[in-house]
Chains A and B, each alone.
Chain A
Amino acid sequence: MAQHNWSSEVKRGIASRCGAHLEVMDEILVQLKALGWSDQELFGVQMALEESLTNAIRHGNGKDESKQVSLEWKLSSERFWLRVQDEGAGFLPAQVPDCTDQENLTACGGRGLLLICAYMTHVEYNDAGNCITMEKIRGEEENALIDVSS
């Protein structure tokens, strides 16, 4: 497959502190807007960023500021690619209860991964369950689970 022509490729670490992700999130959204992404598309990207980064800070690293959340992202006018890794023990996505089941509707958590999958074209976890990789390709259907590891 031909190499995609990314406009920017960035690696960065952020502290495991509430709100530490907001600056990076805004930086990515501003860059995508400049690349021609619509407000509606940016809503979905923001949701994926917000949920994956707060999951890593809160659940992965337990808000332990001695631990880092490692971020890698690539942006272009056609694609948004993001990898988020925490230093936690990981989890099995398949064991997260389905929050859309009638008996789980009033559960107060478990919606983050569902929302990420809804807005991204591809989503994948590593085997350890502490690294999520996602990609949004403009104009393609969301929610396919395929290999986006490279």
Chain B
Amino acid sequence: MPAPKRIQLNDSGDVTVVTFSDSKIIDEDEIQELGQELYDLVERDGHRKFVLNFSQVEFLSSAALGKLISFEKKVSTHDGELILTNIRPEIYEVFAITKLTKLFQIKDDEADALAVL
């Protein structure tokens, strides 16, 4: 199984910590690839609890938001849990403008997320 290109993975107990590899998530092909790598974690690998660490992310498009929403749905339908962390203020504002702060659980950092998962 090839190593994912768009994400880096670390396990913390039964939680999978996902760090995005790209600083700008805008390229349509890369977003498709990112989505597939995230879906594989649920459908192929059977992971259920996730922390998505945004520390590397400086910019993302609405297409990337759409992919994150699809991933959230996928995790939910498998009775999993998902928490977003380490979101810089400019990116948090994008979530706030689109009201996705109501959809996603967001914590300051990985430790805060792991404490509740």
Contacts and interface: CB of A to CB of B under 8 A. Distances in A.
Q: How large is the interface on B (under 10, 10 to 19, 20 to 34, 35 or more residues)?
A: 20 to 34
Contact of A99 (B27, B70, B98): B98
Contacts of A112: 62
A106 B69 contact: yes
Interface of B is mostly: helix
Given A99-B98, A106-B103, A115 B28 contact: no
Nearest to A18: B28
A108 B68 CA distance: 9
A106 B65 CA distance: 10
Contacts of A114: 97-98
A144 interface: no
Which of under 10, 10 to 19, 20 to 34, or 35 or more describes the interface residues of A? 20 to 34
A46 B59 contact: yes
Nearest to B65: A111
Contact of B98 (A18, A19, A58, A100): A100
Interface of B: 26-29, 59, 61-63, 65-67, 69-70, 72-73, 90, 94, 97-100, 102-103
